[in-house]
Amino acid sequence: MCTWNKVLDENAKGKLSQFCLIPAENIVTLYDVPNIWHIPLLLRDQKAHEAMFKVLNLHGVAKEPNLEEWTCRAESSDLLYEPVRIALVGKYTCLSDSYLSILKALLHASVDCQKKLVVDWIPASNLETATAKGNHDAYKAAWKLLKGADGVLVPGGFGDRGVQGKIIAAKYARENRIPFLGICLGMQIAVIEFARSVLGVQDANSTEFEPHTKSPYIIFMPEGSKTHMGGTMRLGSRRTYFQTKECKSAKLYGCKSFIDERHRHRYEVNPDLVACLENAGLSFTGKDETGQRMEILELPNHPYFIGAQFHPEFKSRPGKPSPLFLGFIGAACGQLDAVLQRSSIVDNSLSKGVDISPVKTYRTRTTTKTAYRTAEYVYGSCNGLHF
């Protein structure tokens, strides 16, 4: 394969074939395209699959690739122009690949809502008052991005750097009714902020950041040894049981009784303090089978304020976005009701044994096509990152 800004002519392919000892028919050009989803189409158009069939001796079992839905998605993505701005408030914003799975999940959901994703990177520490004193320009720029966002996302992470800035971002989203999604540490941040601002527990904290805190709302809850770092994490697929089907998160997952999502963490919400949080208005809509581990939180009276202890981004796929990300983007661009209704349709089709359900109409340059997907769900950059 060769990347270039235009198609290789036959002379160039001949030279590559001669000097690299590769059959000319096995050389394909992956030239610049408007979005990465065009790449499989380039491979198909240059018959890369036929070369693979031949080398692997698969002609008897392999079929021609059916990329109709993929083509619709790639072409419709080129035509998206109305932006949805997401403020990603994190610790590793100087390296976008640190949040690659989250960026892709946001992209999948944005395309599903037919919006152009714009990610505004906000270093969490730049929202803190300490930055206002030492670097006022960075502080001012961070707040300008936060206030201009359609949605606020606080991702996972380890360590206490930037924690106060993340708490500030969660508070801003909660008080100003901006769609909010907190993942792993982001969910824990939402709990700490709620305890401090609503319950008035000013020293509410996590034992990860303050081991001897008198108000441990987040505590160490490993599934292994506390002394061996490799054995302390709650890892892999774990089951979450919805406590009610009337909450947004349950509806987004198609009103299922439980879901399986992937985990990667050590600290969790202190089960001894759950009752006081719920009495104040915070709702833990998803829990593990023991009822001791809080998996999903929501603010029922907020347009969209959800935290997940698991990592829903890990199961997001093109055309099959993570439900929580889809709800988040839907809320950020005013489509949440439609997204919730569509999720219910998928659930009804499952109960009736329907295998295929229409989910999106893609408008291309020349025609309008309806894409279909199986009823079950499976579950990008820089400042102002455009996809």
- Cite the active site residues: 184, 311, 313
Please, what sign has the CA dihedral across residues 58, 61, 64, 66?
Answer: negative
Burial class (CB in 10 A: 0-12, 13-18, 19+), 76: buried
Measured torsion, CA atoms of residues 152, 342, 351, 323, in degrees rounded to the nearest 10:
-20
- Both structure tokens of 21: 């000892």
Angle between helices 163-175 and 185-197 (to 10 degrees): 70
Q: What is the largest CA-CA distance in the chain?
A: 74
Angle between helices 136-147 and 163-175 (to 10 degrees): 40
